[in-house]
Structure 1
């Protein structure tokens, strides 16, 4: 077993046993090394891998913010892995689209129209109405809107998965816009569809919201020739 896997396995056991929890500080590198029978350098390497995975956050200096703190940010690790796989073409765009349909139709059907995430979705819709918005910024806001809808469903894992997909969604939708015959017409249609989806969720019509978001996602990719 590699060093970072030893450290990860140790942390899983500590969390499972209740000896550590989110928000707690990890023991120092020396203590971790002694418990696992490895060198301090190896313990440091393992903790750095955990930090890259979004499981811990390293603080510097002294005081309340110092030390390595256990966090809860699964989207960070998932997002990094997905972006790398997209870059190496291990995850075809078609697979991402199908995954989006599965996640987002469920989320739209269960979204809480009164949630804080839906309030953020409205702010994003208003930002997308800005006249001087370029394609890249529009699609960034668009991806954030879809993440907000997923978070409004209240399922932490669904929200984290959509958050992790956000960078990938931004990247390939921007590439696909080159295939669109009329970006102005497409963006106007997307804005209108966003508002309709939001309205259905606000009216507590989950079935309608799920149907609308499915047509919304499929329509863009069909128009772009996918």
Structure 2
């Protein structure tokens, strides 16, 4: 990242493209501006553009291809749908929520999400597994990793089939990212932390897959509170009954 560039400049790119998708200026089949043009237009480095595009690709909104010619670059393959579009717009307001309220709300929502998923005969975890795979990449920056982390939790909420819960998680996405990003500097060994988070994510998905609702609830509670505590953002929270 160029010297002096804001650490979260990639968020500017992500939000710029999301606004274009939500407002209809971009739709399926449209090609995004080049990395160079986006970087110049938004005043960020090309590395920030690449981070934002990678997150959008994992979210299933764009497809990227390397090389040259008409099939290269990034093309839109989907747009946020229904109530999700409205709640994406509320993310800006959600950034002002108190941290304790965000944590408690996450625990309430995600406890219900994983329990409901575990009780389904065949939960659709394909989107969550794609994000898990993307999070295994060695070259991820902390910002990129945590953006994918938030997307994983959203993917689980969407898989649960409760549109209200999924919409609430979508609305909290930016707020969640904002707070977890704050804790990165307090974690002395980020590589070890990513190993822990990856293992916890896979344990949650495994518990859901085998239909163990109680284990999934306990694991997601420990996962959420464990990171906030390790990052010095909040006190440990008692397990959900």
Name the TM tier (shorter chain): 0.5 to 0.7
Deviation of residue 147 (structure 1)? 0.6
The 5 A counterparts of 1:36-185 are: 73-86=82-95, 89=96, 91-111=97-117, 112=120, 114-116=122-124, 118-185=125-192
CA distance in 1, matches of 2:24, 2:196: 44
**Alpha carbon RMSD of aligned pairs, Å?**
2.4
Give secondary structure in 2 for the equivalent of 1:159: helix
Q: Rg bigger for which structure?
A: 1
Match of 2:52 in 1: none
Deviation of residue 171 (structure 1)? 2.0
Q: Is residue 94–residue 171 contact of structure 2 (8 Å, CA) maintained in 1?
A: no
CA distance in 1, matches of 2:222, 2:215: 11
Q: Is residue 103–residue 158 contact of structure 1 (8 Å, CA) maintained in 2?
A: yes
TM-score, structure 2 normalization: 0.60
Deviation of residue 85 (structure 1)? 4.4
CA distance in 2, matches of 1:57, 1:126: 31
The C-alpha deviation readout for 1:178-212, integer Å capped at 9, x for no partner, is 11121111111000000000000000111110110
In structure 2, runs of 5+ residues without a counterpart are: 1-18, 26-79, 234-241
Q: Is residue 123–residue 209 contact of structure 2 (8 Å, CA) maintained in 1?
A: no
Residues 1:210 and 2:202 aligned together: no
Deviation of residue 144 (structure 1)? 0.8
Q: Which shifted more, 193-202 or 146-155?
A: 146-155
Deviation of residue 140 (structure 1)? 1.2
Equivalent residue pairs, number: 159
Match of 1:10 in 2: none
Go from structure 1 to structure 2 and tell me whether the alpha carbon gap of 1:202 and 1:83 turns closer, same or farther (over 3 Å shift): same
- Structure with greater helix percent: 1
Deviation of residue 73 (structure 1)? 2.5
CA distance in 2, matches of 1:138, 1:169: 13
TM-score, structure 1 normalization: 0.64
The C-alpha deviation readout for 1:101-145, integer Å capped at 9, x for no partner, is 0000110001147343x1111111111111111111111111111
In structure 1, runs of 5+ residues without a counterpart are: 1-51, 60-70
Deviation of residue 219 (structure 1)? 0.2
Q: Is residue 113–residue 202 contact of structure 1 (8 Å, CA) maintained in 2?
A: no
Match of 2:196 in 1: 189
